[in-house]
Amino acid sequence: MYLNKDKIVSVSVQQNPLVCLFLMFLVFCSLSTHAKNNDAKHVLGDVTKIYMSSMTYIFKEQKLINQRGGNKSKLFGSEFIENIRVIYKSKYSEPFPLIDHKSKKVLLQSMVEVMEENRELISDEKLDFKGIIPATFAFQLSAKLSTKGVGLKIKFTRTQESIRNKLNNPDTWEVKVMKSIIKKPEVFYDNNALLNGKAAYRQFTPLPMVPHCLRCHGVPAQNPLNFGKNEEDWTDIDMTGFKMEGWTLDDFGGGVSISIEKSVIDSNRSYQ
């Protein structure tokens, strides 16, 4: 007799109701795992995009941050968050995510806290360049999140040999991921990773190099400190005090690495 796979299953199920129950259990487990993975993917995706929108907003407001005096209220509190919402919508052409998970709520609150901690610096009327740029803001935000106890870790990192802030050095997972995607940058998602020895979801989102990155990381001709000066007077030190790397738009721009412990995905839902 010749039976295909479907007939075998059908025969087995008719013969034994226990097999049926077992199969249903397997389907349920598989659906549940699939749903959890999707949930985690959504949370990680939303958190990454909100984080990246805040970096874009910080870049957009460099003039306001560094100017002496003026009304800077849009850099603080709820106004700051409102502006990140606007950036998010225009950047990703989609509505701002629902704040339905504690990690998203804590992320937004941490942004407000970080900006408040920089208030004196931002309001200093005797200083020009304040050093609050996307990378430093992102780093402060990551450090702040690490104190919140929500099992969420987020980091703006890149390949070890070219990183400026050694505290942002990539870990083993990040090194491996960057190696695998550096030639063809794309989002890398891992639902079976570890974070501090605990099961975690991890995602690495590469950032494309864009023209404004090159003001610090490009060549002296792109350094705003050199604008209007003769070439012999140019400096290869950027406004943050680092030597310019001479990168181009084709170079790897690093990325946002985000990790969340599996145990906190389910336990922190329903925040609004």
Partner 1 sequence: MHYLKCLKLIILLNLIISFQSQGEKLRVGLVEYPPHLNFNMKSEDTPLYEYVNRWLNNLNVKIEYVRLSTERGIKEIQNGKIDLLFPLDVEIDGVKNLQTPLFHSVPGLCFKREKFIPILSATHRFNNLLVGVPTGVKIVPALENSRALIVELKGNEAIRRGIDLTQRGRIDAFYHPYPLQVYHRENPKYQEVACSSFHGYLNPVHIAVSPKLSKYKVDSIESAYKKAMEDISYDYYFATRDKSKYIKTH
Pair 105, 45: CB distance under 8 Å:
no
d(C-alpha 184, C-alpha 206), whole Å: 10
Q: How many residues bind partner 1 (CB under 8 A)?
A: 36
CA distances from 259 to 106, 143, 150, 241 (A): 15, 14, 11, 31
In the complex with partner 1, the residue whose CB is nearer, 139 or 188, is: 139
d(C-alpha 62, C-alpha 131), whole Å: 10
Minimum distance of partner 1 from residue 266's CB (angstroms): 12
Minimum distance of partner 1 from residue 97's CB (angstroms): 20
* Positions in 109-148 near partner 1 (CB under 8 A): 109-110, 112-113, 115-117, 120-121, 123-124, 126-127, 129-132, 136, 139-140, 143-144, 146-148
> Binding of partner 1 at residue 59 (CB under 8 A)?
no
* Positions in 75-94 near partner 1 (CB under 8 A): 76-78
d(C-alpha 202, C-alpha 259), whole Å: 4
Minimum distance of partner 1 from residue 27's CB (angstroms): 27
Written as one string, the DSSP assignment of 73-141 is GGGSHHHHHHHHHHHHHHHHSSPPPP--BHHHHHHHHHHHHHHHHTHHHHH-TT-S-----HHHHHHHH
> Binding of partner 1 at residue 225 (CB under 8 A)?
no
> Binding of partner 1 at residue 183 (CB under 8 A)?
no
Minimum distance of partner 1 from residue 135's CB (angstroms): 9
In the complex with partner 1, the residue whose CB is nearer, 79 or 190, is: 79
φ/ψ of 229, rounded to 5, equals -105, 160
d(C-alpha 210, C-alpha 187), whole Å: 17
* Residues that bind partner 1 in the complex, under the rule CB under 8 A: 76-78, 109-110, 112-113, 115-117, 120-121, 123-124, 126-127, 129-132, 136, 139-140, 143-144, 146-149, 164-167, 240-242
